[in-house]
Amino acid sequence: MTIGVVVFPGSNCDRDVRWAAEGCLGIPTRFLWHEERSLEGIDAVVLPGGFSYGDYLRCGAIAHVSPMLSEVAAFAARGGPVLGICNGFQILTEMGLLPGALTRNRQLHFLCEAAPLTVHPGACQWLRHYGEGEPISLPIAHGEGCFQADADTLAALEGEGRVVLRYAANPNGSVGDVAGLCNAQGNVLGLMPHPERACDPITGGTDGSRLLASLLS
């Protein structure tokens, strides 16, 4: 099992994902430069948080046309596990792997704090180690995490059980309290909270470890 961590100019949680996966959980990682095209030997892909391309134009808008991400799209289509954290979630919506969009937080401020969440794993393979309705706490750190989707899209997502993470106390105005979404196949997860920041007891809880540990069977 090797996790590929895609690195764009402006990514800043790439090393944090590496620390959580490899340093805390013992899962090997490899950095994938955005201009590369090879996913050889990679079993799962993480799009880390940060400000890819400075968030210029629109969060994730430039990143989603990079060479590496066309490979990641194909990898996801083959059923490969893909996790988009924060900026990575924004990129997944730009790529069309997940619906909706992430916009400026309700109060227009960047927010960095612990967010209480409830997990509804459904068919999401990344969340298979969590119970239905389980309360957990993960840190959030974003300025544009307000999830937006039209009423029909949201209703469809709800109906298909794809709203897999919800805010218990909505911090940013997301419709439906959406904190994380999964694709219909269950292999692509996008979430605004940072599970990689909750894998190390000394820096703030371990509620995120089971998410990354889902890659280990």
Partner 1 sequence: MGGRSARLSFPACGCLVSSPSYPLAEALRKEGLSRADYDEIVRRLGRAPNRAELGMFGVMWSEHCCYRNSRPLLGQFPTSGPRILVGPGENAGVVDLGEGQHLAFKIESHNHPSAVEPFQGAATGVGGILRDIFTMGARPIALLNALRFGPLEDPRNVGLMEGVVAGIAHYGNCVGVPTVGGEVAFDPSYSGNPLVNAMALGLMETEEIVRSGAAGVGNPVVYVGSTTGRDGMGGASFASAELTEASLDDRPAVQVGDPFLEKGLIEACLEAFKSGDVVAAQDMGAAGLTCSCSEMAAKGGVGVELDLDLVPAREDGMTAYEFLLSESQERMLFVVRQGREQPLMERFRRWGLQAAVVGRVVAENVVRVLQHGEVAAEVPANALADDTPINHHELLAAPPAEIQAHWQWSEAELPPADTTGITPAGQSPLSWSQVLLALLDTPTIASKRWVYRQYDHQVQGNTVMPPGGADAAVVRLRPQQGPGSLLPAQRGVAAVVDCPNRWVALDPQRGAMAAVAEAARNLSCVGAEPLAVTDNLNFPSPDHPTGYWQLAMACRGLSEACAALGTPVTGGNVSLYNETRLPDGRLQPIHPTPVVGMVGLVPDLARVTGQAWRAAGEAIWLLGVPLAGDDDADERLGLAASGYLEWIHGLSTGRPPRTDLALEVAVQALLRQAIAQGVVTAAHDLSDGGLAVAAAECCLASGLGAQLELPAGTARADRLLFAEGGARVLVSVPAAQAQAWQALLEQVPPSGAAGSPPACQRLGQVEAEAVLSIGRGGTTLLVQPLDVLGLAYEQAIPRRLAGGA
Which residues of this chain interact with partner 1, rule CB under 8 A? 9-10, 12-13, 15-16, 18-20, 22-23, 49-51, 53-56, 107, 109-113, 139, 141, 143, 194, 196-197, 200, 202-204
Minimum distance, C-beta of residue 76 to partner 1, in the bound complex (Å): 26
* Beta bridge partner(s), residue 30: 4
CA nearest 4: which of 97, 94, 80? 80
Residue number, 56 or 158, with CB nearest to partner 1: 56
Catalytic residue among 24, 34, 194, 199: 194
Closest separation in Å from C-beta 54 to partner 1: 3
Of 120 and 197, CB closest to partner 1: 197
* Residue nearer to partner 1 on the CB measure, 190 or 208: 208
**Residue 26: partners with Cβ closer than 8 Å, 6 or more residues away:** none
Which of 71, 94, 144, 196 is catalytic? The answer is 196
Is 38 buried (19+), middle (13-18) or exposed (0-12) by CB count in 10 A?
exposed
Annotated catalytic residue within 13, 86, 146, 182: 86
147 beta partners: 102
In the complex, the smallest distance separating the C-beta of residue 37 from partner 1, rounded to whole angstroms, is 16
Tokens 């629109």, residue located: 58
Residue 16 near residue 204, CB atoms below 8 Å:
no
d(CA 47, CA 66): 12
196 labelled catalytic: yes
Measured from the CB atom, the residue of 149 and 211 that comes closer to partner 1 is 211
Nearer to partner 1, 73 or 168 (CB): 168
Least distance from C-beta 41 to partner 1, angstroms?
19
| Closest separation in Å from C-beta 63 to partner 1 | 12
Degrees to nearest 5, angle at CA 158 with 147 and 193:
40
Cα(57)–Cα(185) distance, integer angstroms: 30
Of the candidates 103, 117, 112, 124, the one whose C-alpha atom is nearest the C-alpha of residue 174 is 103
Which residues participate in catalysis according to the annotation?
86, 194, 196
